[in-house]
Structures are given as structure tokens and as C-alpha cells.
Amino acid sequence: MSETIPARGIPGQSSTSILGNAVLRREDATLIRGRGEYVANQQFEDLLHAHFVRSTTAHGTILSVDADEARSMPGVVAVYTADDLGLEDRKPPMGFYAKEACRSLLARERVRFVGEPVAVVVAETAYQAADAAEAVWADVDPLPAVVSVDDAVAADTVLFDGRSDNVMWEIPSTGAIDFSGCEAVVTERLWNSRVAAVPIETRVVAAAYVDGKLTCWASSQGTHGFRDGVAESLDMEPADVRVLVKDIGGGFGAKGMVSEEEIVVAQLARLLGRPVRWVESRTENLSAYVHGRAQGQTVTLGGTRDGRVTHYRLEIVQDCGAYPKYGPFLPEFTRQLATGVYDIANVEFSAVSVATNTAPICAYRGAGRPEATAAIERAMDLFAVEIGMDPTEVRRANFVAPEAFPYTTPTGTSMDCGDYEGSLDRALETVDYAGLRVEQQRRRDAGDPVQMGIGVATYVEITGFGGSEYAEVRLRSDGTVLASTGATPIGTGHHTTWAMLVADRLGLPLDAIEVFHGDTEAIPTGNTTGGSRSVQIAGSAMADASEKLVEVAREAAADLLEAAPADVVHDREHGAFHVAGTPSMARTWADVAGAADGELAGLSDHSQDGATFPFGTHVVVVELDTETGQAVIDRVVSVDDSGRIVNPLLAAGQIHGGLAQGIAQGLMEEFRYDEDGNPQTTNLADYTAVSTMEVPSYERSFMETPTPRNPLGAKGIGESGSIGSTAAVQSAVVDALAPYGIRHLDMPMTPERVWAAIDAS
């Protein structure tokens, strides 16, 4: 694995700052020793176990639920159906969704996807609960299943009473554009495939109710969001609900919203007066939780034969699954980034989000932005083929220029800064693009059974949108610091990053700083970790709180030094305070702490003026065996710009994971249903999640174009790897198929799909 990792400064830091350097993760020591604080590891006295009974029918009317046998089985404490819980149905999470699309916590009257819970068994052991769940019989009268978005649009079957269609939300076109003046026009219908998040840790939740107070232990991306969701559903005051989130085994967007099952477990604890825990199985996680992507796209691109693109139309049909969660809104992010990195004068966009009898769609790494990149990059490749021009030159001819920033796109998105051509140039130079094209032509001329494909995608994404973040940096009496954050770490190195920011601002060693998170009783506010917002918003809050602590400490140091506060200098190099001109008479942080009347603290609730827009170029080279259809990735080169980088080691890890997920969607991962709505990929034998066997070493480098929208100059990095890589993989495989006259192939480009396309050519 080769990469270029910079060690560059962040505005406001000292000359010997730790920021910009590769610092090893502090979080890993407990994890590699098996001491992680996962919910399934927690010990509870008198614990009960929950197991959900799930629908095996995609769509149908519930005639009855018979639980008599289950209730009499060993260890069973209770069996609940929807009416037993005493809770109201959940309204759609966004007020502009179809108001009729409510969901009961356990299915009431109708089931709408295979895996929807219809009852829950509570027993003394997890095994007893699972055995009893098998004895619960739900009598369901089947209804026609709506599986594809085309069927949903046709609306021969409508999923929700009171509606005449399956539309959950839509973005109407702002007006048709005219392609008649274009010298060349291409159009194609694309499918951005449905995928599952596959976190290492499935959903796990525990709850206990004591003296009117509910405590939940959750595996969630948002401690306070989880609390508020539970409190609303149980009609409790948020102050009476405490949520603890410590270690979490991956989320990828799927754990960003509190789920129905998690709310049910909280209610069970309240009803039974004993702690209750539920641990989701892998099959449940794959078939009964949320999925991502699942977006149909029709692209039309037009322009001149010398490569200038002038017109672009993107029409979207978004699959929402059976109930509207975040899925219906995903096209909005696709709309915001519809034109990608290109200056296109005439743009038309429309979207309709429809319900189907499948698992709900929610946020998945990138959430609408990889879909935008896949659409425009696929369209640019199709246009390049149409006019007989190298695809990289078509891109170069249409980039938004660096001097155009801040730049507002035709869809109204205000972008901060970018150097798209710079990222393309660096990526092409790294991969030796010209040399690869020569080798590719040699193979084509020779009729080599193993063809080379070269895929290029230059992307932009949106991060750090919406909300503020809480931080408190408190000086303890022994001179150490407790840094508390409202953000929820999800395995991406928050504790290391926040400690680095505090150390830089205070001038203390990392060992003197403890980072605390994940307790709604101790931390007043916090937002869900998602949208690659953490460093730029939560990190800026941590830096701001540290600077405020410095000002408070300066006052205390002034008393020790018998000087006016304005004359006291904070020496960040040595972590001390002294009167200007007399550094030999310094007072340390420990001195200040010892003399202070109580603990000193700095608080911040930082928000950001507008989102930020990371960008980059990914190049993928594949070796395609035309006799078997097997595509093997030979090289992946990524050049990514996320503004100023606090810790390049952690940033590289984020890109690494994102590239793997993008490659996975491009080549192998897809959650599939049959025509009756039965899931076909319900375990990791059928759902081929990516592994190290399918991905090569990566060649990474970073550019740094600081954003003016936060004091760190940082943009998000957590999702960038998945934004460009998916499109680059698809481009590479289609490029390898060019000798067969194949211009497009939908993801995932499995050996079967590739071989069939070659056979039909």
C-alpha cells in the first residue's frame, strides 16, 4: 500500500503542533484486549431476553396472531402483539412525507415486508425466547406484492389506505430543458443497486426501568437522537430517559435512527419491571433492518462534439421500501450534487420516492451523494463514447474552475472551494494513464481473453450539513483535562482526534486528556454522527471550548502571577502561562488547577455556516476475464481533498473503508428479492460482503484545499471513499467490455452479469 500523507498545519496552531501528524488511535487498546463496552457484553441482574416473531409474507392482511402455545413454553414471561404494547403508531419521520404512511411498532392489521415484526417473546434466556417465537403463528391473508419501483409507480396495488398511489415524497421538475440544439445526446436508464450496511455488530439494545426512569444501552450513531426517539414513542419526558452509547461495532448510516424493535425493548422493560435485552441475528439484520441506495435513474446528457456538455437531465425513482424512513429524502442530496464537478448550464431534475414491499431504505455511507456521482460520471462516460473522445478529456473540458468558487450550481447548491482538475491530474500521473491506455490497446488488438478496463471518476460530495455540536473542556484539580463531546464515536477515531485538538490548543500532552462521550445524563445535547460532520463541527466545538478554557485559565493564572490578565501569555509550546517578557516565571496548567476555586471549564455549542464540499478523483484498473466474466481489480488510485487534515492516519483509514464499500457495490454486493417479495440474500453466504480477498492495496494521496466555513479548515472524509470508487469501478468494467460494443452495465457487475452481457453481444 502506497500513499502520500501530508503533515501540514491548521490555522491557529503552534509551530510544533501535533495536528497534521499521523497519531496512532488511542481507542484500540481496550478493543484488542476484549474490553470493549458493547451492549451485548454488559452484565445485568435479573435480565430478560426478547426475540421477535417476523412476517414471512411480503404483503398481507393479518387475520390473527396465535401465541397460546408460546406462552406456555419453559421460561417464557410474556408474548406481546401490537395491541398489547399500548403504544401509538409511529408517524413518518419527516412532516412532508405521505401522512398516511404510519408504522406500528409491531405489525397491526397488515404486514408490508418479509421480516416485519408481528409479535415479541420475552423469556428468561435468549434460547427460550427463540424457541417460543417459533411457536407463534401469524395467520396472514396474502395481498399482491409490490417489489419493483416500476410496479410501485404503476400503483396497481397501493400499500397504504387512504392513498391512491405509492408516492411517499417527490421533487417535481422545475421545467423541461430542450436538447434539440445539442450536437450529441446520450440517454440511459441506470439502477443504483440495493445494498445492506452489514455492520460487524448488529442491532443490540438493553433497557431497564426503575422508579419512573428509563435507561437504555444502545448501539447507535446518536445518543441524544436515540433518547428523543424513545421518549417520544413512549410518551415520556426526555429528562426521564437516559441513553448510554459506548463502543459500537459499525453503523454506516444504518444506526442513525432509533428502530421499532429498539423502542419495543424499552417498552418491555417498562411493562415488566425487569431489564430486557435484544441481540439481533445476522439474518434479521440483513432482511429486517434498513438497506441503502436502491435508486433508479434516467440520465440524458447533451453537448457539442468537441466535448463541451451543455444540457443534463436526471430523473429519479427512489425505492423507499415498505415504510418511509430516510429513504424518500435521499434524492434531495442527489439533486444538490446532480451536476457533480461540472459546469453545465442547463439542468433539469425530478424525483419521485415510492413505497415497495421490501425492507425500508435509509442512509448508507454517502446517502444520496454516491448516487449523484454514479449518475453524472456514467453519463460523462457515455457521452465520451458517443463523440469518440477520451473520457478524461471530456471531464477536463467541463470542470468548474478553482477561481469560480464559491460556486452555486444550477440546482442551487453553494459550494465552498475545489480544484477538480488538480485531483484528476495527480491521479492520472500516479496511475500512468497514458501507459495503461497503450497496454489496453495492445490487448484489444491481440484479442487477449483478459481485457483491461480503466475507470475514472472525479467526484464532489457534501458534508457537515445542519446542526451544532456540544463540547466541554474541563480542567481537573490534578492538572489533567476531561473533554466531553456530544458527538457519538462510531469507530472512526474521535477520541484520538478530539484529544489532539485539545492538546494543540492547551499545550498539554495527549496523556493528560481524557475524552468522554455517550451519556445523555452527563452531556446535555448532541447530534447524530453522520454526513461526515464530526471533525468540522464537533472538532471545531472541541477546539473552541479549549480556547475558552484558556481564557478562563488566563484569569486564574493572572492571580498567581500577580499581573493583569491582558499581560498574561499562554505559551502553547510549553503548556504554561507567564507574564509577557518573563517566561522564566511561568505557571503550569497544574499550578492553575491547584490554585483555582473549583474546576475551570470552557463550553462550546459550535455550528457551521453552510456545508463543505470534499472532492477527489478515483481511478480503478480491472483485469476482466472475458471467458468467465470475472473482473479482478488490479489497481485503485485515490486522490482525495477534505480540506485541512487533523490526523492523516485516521483519514487514510476512512478512505480505505470507503473504497472497499464502493468496490463492493460495484462488483458483488446486492440485496435481492424474488417477484413475490421474498428476500434472497439473508445471510453472509448469499449476500457477498466484501473481504480482503476482493480488494487490492490502495494507492492514496491527499490534497488540502482548506474550507473557509469552519476554523479548522476541515471538510468531511468519512464517506469520500465510497463516493467516487463505485462509479470508477463501474466505469472500469464497462471500459473493458467496449470491444464487445457494450456501453453500459448495471451494478453489481458480477461474473454472471458480465458473462451474460458478453454472450448477448
Mean pLDDT value across residues 54-72:
98
Parts of the chain belonging to CATH 3.30.365.10:
361-460+612-760, 467-607
pLDDT of res. 14: 52
Q: What is the CATH number of domain 361-460+612-760?
A: 3.30.365.10
Residues 6+ apart with CB under 8 A from 393: 307, 384
| Mean pLDDT on 325-353 | 98
Q: How high is the pLDDT of residue 404?
A: 98
Q: How confident is the model at residue 4 (pLDDT cuts 50, 70, 90)?
A: very low
Percentage of the chain beyond pLDDT 90 is: 96
Work out the average pLDDT over 139-156: 98
pLDDT greater at residue 697 or residue 230: 230
Q: How confident is the model at residue 36 (pLDDT cuts 50, 70, 90)?
A: very high
Which tens digits make up the pLDDT trace of 510-547? 999 999 999 999 999 999 999 999 999 999 999 999 99
Residue 720 · residue 637 · CB < 8 Å: no
Cite the beta strand spans of 572-647 per DSSP E.
Answer: 576-579, 587-588, 600-607, 615-625, 630-641
* pLDDT band of 597, cuts 50, 70, 90: confident
- The predicted pLDDT at position 5 comes to 42
Average pLDDT (285-297) is 98
pLDDT reported for residue 357: 98
731-742 confidence digits (pLDDT tens)? 999 999 999 999
- State mean pLDDT over 148-153: 98
What is the pLDDT at residue 306? 97
Check whether 11 has a pLDDT greater than 90. Answer: no
CATH 3.90.1170.50 domain locations along the chain: 39-143+202-248+255-288
Strands ordered across the beta sheet of 568-571: 568-571, 576-579, 587-588
Instruction: Please state which CATH number belongs to domain 39-143+202-248+255-288.
Output: 3.90.1170.50
How large is the average pLDDT for residues 37-48? 96
Q: In the structure, what pLDDT confidence band is assigned to residue 694 with cuts at 50, 70 and 90?
A: confident
Task: Kindly list the distances between the CA atom of residue 229 and the CA atoms of 90, 258, 561, in Å, as whole numbers in the listed order.
Answer: 10, 6, 51
Residues 176-187, mean pLDDT to the nearest whole number: 98
Q: Is the pLDDT of residue 226 over 80?
A: yes
Instruction: State the pTM of this model.
Output: 0.95
Share of the chain above pLDDT 70, in %: 98
320/372 Cα distance (integer angstroms):
17
Per-residue model confidence as pLDDT tens digits over 630-673: 999 999 999 999 999 999 999 999 999 999 999 999 999 999 99
Average pLDDT over every residue of 406-427: 97
Count other C-beta atoms under 10 Å from residue 36's C-beta: 17
Of 433, 439, 435, nearest to 455 by C-alpha is 433
* Calpha distance 371→234 (Å, rounded): 36
Looking at residue 17, its pLDDT comes to 84
| Integer CA distances (angstroms), 564 to 511, 575, 582, 583, 603, in order | 31, 19, 14, 15, 24
Per-residue cell: 688 = 457477498
Q: How confident is residue 165, by pLDDT bands cut at 50, 70 and 90?
A: very high
What's the pLDDT tens digit per position in 442-496?
Answer: 999 999 999 999 999 999 999 999 889 999 999 999 999 999 999 999 999 999 9
pLDDT at 8 over 50: no
| Average pLDDT of the chain to the nearest whole number | 96
Position 109 scores a pLDDT of 96
Give yes or no for residue 130 having a pLDDT over 70.
yes
pLDDT of residue 719: 96
- Rounded to the nearest angstrom, the gap between the alpha carbon of residue 164 and the centroid of all alpha carbons in its chain is 33
Cα separation, 761 vs 757, whole angstroms: 6
- What is residue 177's predicted lDDT score, i.e. its pLDDT? 98
If DSSP codes are grouped into helix, strand and coil, which group holds residue 256?
coil
Identify the CATH number of the domain defined by range 467-607: 3.30.365.10
Contact 561, 587 (CB under 8 A): yes
